[in-house]
Amino acid sequence: MSSPGNLLILPGHGIFQDGGWHGHYRGEEAALETQLGLALQLLSGPDWEALMLSGGYTRPNLLPPLRNSEAGGMMEFIRQNHPDTPPKPILLENFARDSFENLFFSLLNFYAAYRRWPQRIGVISWPFKALRYYAICVGLKIPPGRFVFFGQGDAADPAAALAGSLRTGRHLMSGSLNELYDPLHRDQTNFARKRRKRMPLSYAGSEQNYLAALRECFREKAASPEVFGLIDQILTQVSKLSPGPQWRELTWPWQESKEE
């Protein structure tokens, strides 16, 4: 099989380990497993050629400590419950701490593995996150027609989940709510604070240390030094960005990737 072109992304919302889910909202176990089932169903069809399981070690305060990341837990669930998985690549992205990083780091992982950008990107997540992921794609300038969202699963408390998503949506907008202001989740008060809470304790709350570990992971995964160099350049571009209209001035290499 040639290198895949269409990438399906499944962000994690809990950590599966030793036969059970951890760090999730109680009552959502069946929904998480339904999302996994949908991912494998879509992967078995002709439209999607690779699956990225995305999510880091985001529950640092659970005791006893968990050995799995969100991505690793989903892979463990698949191995235990879906032995007949489609013969297509299932990749792990082990650093993401929020929706932006789920999509962004998955793109970079795909490029590290295949030295190409995906032609189409699909995301499976809660229905109430649809606009959030669309805003992220607008911020990353994913070309029109190249992004698909699959809303799947019901939150344990749909009203509370929707209210939280609407609050997040306000943080993406300018104060007057008439401009997309922070689609790449750069705000230090809201988004960055949440990411720090989901960071393994070994990083002592240091974003610099976390990004250094992420870069080292990409250095090891990258197909060549040139591939890592581009990934490093993109990571630097995002890390220097502040909320505001500056995101509109950025360019991205996937904008140049033509659909086949």
Residue reference for tokens 């880091």: 56
Q: What is the Cα–Cα distance from 90 to 154, expressed in whole angstroms?
A: 25
Count of structural domains, the chain: 1
**What pTM does this model have?**
0.96
* Most distant pair of Cα atoms in the chain: their distance: 51
pLDDT at 257 (0 to 100) = 62
Low-confidence ranges of the chain (pLDDT < 50): 1, 260
Q: Which amino acid type is present at position 206?
A: S
- Segment (H or E) for 52: strand 50-54
Q: Is residue 1 part of a domain?
A: no
Residues whose CB is less than 8 angstroms from the CB of residue 45 and which lie 6 or more positions away in sequence, other chains included: none
Q: How many CB atoms lie within 10 A of CB 186?
A: 21
Within-domain flag for 46: yes
Q: SS3 for 233? A: helix
Rounded distance, CA 190 to CA 94, Å? 22
Question: So what's the pLDDT on residue 2?
Answer: 67
In a domain, 180, yes or no: yes
Residue 22 lies in a domain: yes
Q: What is the pLDDT of residue 4?
A: 86
**Summary count for the chain: helices (H), strands (E):** 8, 7
pLDDT digits over 81-138, tens only?
Answer: 999 999 999 999 999 999 999 999 999 999 999 999 999 999 999 999 999 999 999 9
Measured distance CA(33)–CA(51) in Å, rounded: 15
User: Residue 252: which domain range?
Assistant: 6-256
| 35 inside domain | yes
| Residue 99: how many other CB atoms lie within 10 Å | 22
User: Which residue type occupies 196?
Assistant: R
CA separation for the pair 59, 200 (Å, rounded): 7
Task: Give me the CATH number covering residue 102.
Answer: 3.40.50.620
